[in-house]
Chains A and B, each alone.
Chain A
Amino acid sequence: MRDYALQVATWTFSWLAPRSQREAVLGDLLEEYALRANAASASAARRWYLRQLCASALPLLWTRLTRSAWISTLGVALCAYLTVGVVELIVNWALASSAAAGTAAYNPLGMFITFPMVVLIGYFAARFRRAAPIVLGAIMLLNVTAMTLWATESLPGWYRIAYFLVGPAALLIGRALNSARPAR
Chain B
Amino acid sequence: MKQRQEPLGSLEHIVLLAVMRLGSNAYGVMVRREIENTTGRDISIGAVYATLVRLESKGLIKSFTGEPTAERGGRAKRYFQMTADGEGSLRNTHEIILKMSAGLKGLQAT
Which of A's residues lie within 8 Å of B, judged by CB? 16-18, 20-21, 23-32, 34, 52, 55-60, 62-63, 67
Main DSSP-derived SS at the A contact region: helix
Of B29, B47, B49, B68, which contacts A21 at CB under 8 A?
A: B49
CA–CA, A21 to B75, complex, Å? 11
Are B53 and A23 interface neighbours, CB within 8 A?
no
- What 1/0 flags go to B14-53 for Cβ under 8 Å of A? 0000000000000111001100000000001111011111
Q: Taking CB as reference atom, which chain B residue is nearest A34?
A: B71
State whether A28 and B50 are in contact (beta carbons under 8 Å apart), knowing that A55-B44, A56-B45 are contacts in the complex. Answer: no
8 contacting pairs across A/B (C-beta < 8 A): A25-B28, A25-B45, A28-B27, A30-B71, A30-B72, A58-B46, A60-B46, A60-B50
Q: Taking CB as reference atom, which chain B residue is nearest A21?
A: B49
Chain B residues, Cβ within 8 Å of A18: 49, 53
Chain B residues, Cβ within 8 Å of A32: 29, 32-33, 45
CA–CA, A62 to B45, complex, Å? 14
Min C-beta distance of A114 to chain B, whole Å: 42
6 other contacts beyond A24-B65, A67-B57, with CB at 8 A cut-off?
A24-B75, A25-B45, A25-B46, A28-B29, A59-B50, A63-B54
CA–CA, A25 to B46, complex, Å? 8
CA–CA, A52 to B28, complex, Å? 13
State whether A56 and B72 are in contact (beta carbons under 8 Å apart), knowing that A28-B29, A63-B53 are contacts in the complex. Answer: no
Are B49 and A23 interface neighbours, CB within 8 A?
no
Q: Taking CB as reference atom, which chain B residue is nearest A29?
A: B45
Instruction: Tally chain B residues at the interface, Cβ within 8 Å.
Output: 26
State whether A24 and B28 are in contact (beta carbons under 8 Å apart), knowing that A30-B72, A30-B75, A31-B72 are contacts in the complex. Answer: yes
Chain B residues, Cβ within 8 Å of A56: 44-47, 49
Which of B's residues lie within 8 Å of A, judged by CB? 27-29, 32-33, 44-47, 49-54, 57, 65, 68-69, 71-73, 75-78
CA–CA, A18 to B53, complex, Å? 9
Residue of B51, B68, B73 most packed against chain A (CB within 10 A): B73
Chain A residues, Cβ within 8 Å of B47: 55-56, 59
Q: Taking CB as reference atom, which chain B residue is nearest A25?
A: B49
Are B78 and A31 interface neighbours, CB within 8 A?
no
Are A21 and B78 interface neighbours, CB within 8 A?
yes
Of B32, B52, B76, which contacts A27 at CB under 8 A?
A: B76
Min C-beta distance of A56 to chain B, whole Å: 2
